[in-house]
Structures are given as C-alpha cells and as structure tokens.
Amino acid sequence: MALAVRDIHRSPKHNMIIKSYPAERATLVKEAWQNSQLTGIAFGGLTYEQFCSGIAPTYETRAAYAQTLNIAVGQRQAIDNADEGTSSLVQRVVDGIKSHPDLGLNSPLYSQCGYVPKNQRRSGNTRGGSALEEPTLPISGSLN
C-alpha cells in the first residue's frame, strides 16, 4: 500500500520526515533540464547552474534536519538507558523504606515518595462506575 504525501507525517515509519511539494518539483525540473541536454540555455532568466545553486538550500536544510533526527534518536536511546538505571535505584530505595524496621509501608516517608500507605488503601475494584447506575437529571428536568 503506497502512502500519500499527506500520510507521511502520521506514519510511524516516517515520523518527522518533511515532505515538500516544492522540493519534489524542483528535483523533477532539475533532472528534466539536465537530461534534456539544454543546460546551456537560460530559462526564466536563470542558467542551469544558478537554478541549482538557488534550490540547494532546500536540500541542505533537509539533510541537516535528517541528521538532527538521527542525533535525537540516539539521545532518546540514551535517555531510555539512563531511566532504566534510575528506575532500578528508585525501586531499591523504596524497597529499603518498605523493609526498614522503623518506617515501612505506613510511614510518612513512604507516602512522601508518592505511594499510598498500606493502611490507607481500600479493598475492592474501584475502576469505573457501577453498571446499574442511572444518570441523574437536573431538578428542573431540562438538560440546559
């Protein structure tokens, strides 16, 4: 299945690639001009060389952008690797708080770390509402 130009931005395989109609058109014009062997003739007041140097920033900027994306992918992997180590250390400290004889699962320190102390947990499934609940209407009977 071929991707349309508008779908390139949404495709995970091509994330962050910038497709450009002007760049594609410039490539077609450049190749046609070169292949026609008419590079000695000026069109629109531009020689072939002037045209090529005029459209070069489009390609140079895209190449720099692609390189930046590659760097970002590498940096994202470095972040993920660092987060793995951090998660391990955090879990080690939290386990230490939970197993400390003077602190444990009900300590203020455990709560300050963002966890719910054991003595404050409710039992039962609290996800979602009851299937038997009916929506209530306002007293006036209108929905406004």
Instruction: Tell me what pLDDT residue 125 has.
Output: 62
As a whole number of angstroms, the distance between CA 57 and CA 20 comes to 13
CA-to-CA dists, residue 85 to 78, 88, 89, 91, 110, angstroms: 11, 5, 6, 10, 21
Higher pLDDT, 7 or 59: 59
pLDDT the model gives residue 110: 86
Reading phi first (left if > 0) and then psi (alpha if -120 to 50, else beta), residue 45 is in: left
pLDDT digits (tens, 9 = 90+) for 34-93: 888 888 888 889 898 999 999 899 888 888 988 999 899 889 999 998 998 898 888 999
- Please say if the pLDDT value at position 6 is more than 50: no
pLDDT of 7 higher than 50: no
Residue 4 corresponds to which tokens in the numbers above? 């349309």
Beta bridge partners of 43: 46
Tokens of 89: 């250390």
Q: Which whole number is the average pLDDT over 132-144?
A: 58
Amino acid letter, residue 28: L
Q: What is the pTM of this model?
A: 0.48
Task: Please identify which residue in the block is written with the tokens 């660092």.
Answer: 82
Strand partners, 46: 43
Of 15-19, 20-24, 119-123, which one has max mean pLDDT? 20-24
DSSP H helices in 11-143: 21-35, 48-99, 108-112
Q: Which two tokens stand for residue 120?
A: 């404050």
